[in-house]
Amino acid sequence: MLVIELVVVLIFCFPILFLDRIAKRFAIHQKINAASVRSAHFLGEQSGERALTPPETTKLIALYNQLIFIQKRDKPLYEQSRAAIVIELTSNERIHIQLSDEDIDVQRIRSKNTVTFWARQDELRTWLMRNMESSELAH
């Protein structure tokens, strides 16, 4: 009887674990870890570029990983000339994070494709507004 129960558990659990792994691989919002970040910086409309400090980068990664995906978009709500945060990964991907009227627009740029999506994370939005304002005032 124990063998039958074990077989039944394996039959139902294995496909779920396999599908979960595939879903994570193809998810639109993929989490990042600190080891995969080459650099992170603000791009201000008037102030130019400012590198994030290590504590700012750590905070940004934690907040980015908590984003709630809302909807995929064909393109960002605003042009790239708006203030943004850019995260460059060791995999040669770039992530652009911009404030939008609604919440946050994220562009994940890979060598051959770009994925744009609308996301929500209130603490990240507040943190971005505060840091972008201080970045603009500092220059």
Question: Widest CA span of the chain, in angstroms?
Answer: 73
Q: Is the pLDDT of residue 90 over 80?
A: yes
- pTM of the model as a whole: 0.71
Task: Dump pLDDT digits (tens) for 1-54.
Answer: 677 777 776 666 666 655 555 545 555 567 888 899 999 988 776 667 889 899
d(CA 106, CA 29): 9
d(CA 103, CA 121): 8
Rg (CA), the chain: 19
Residue ranges per structural domain of the chain: 1-30, 33-138
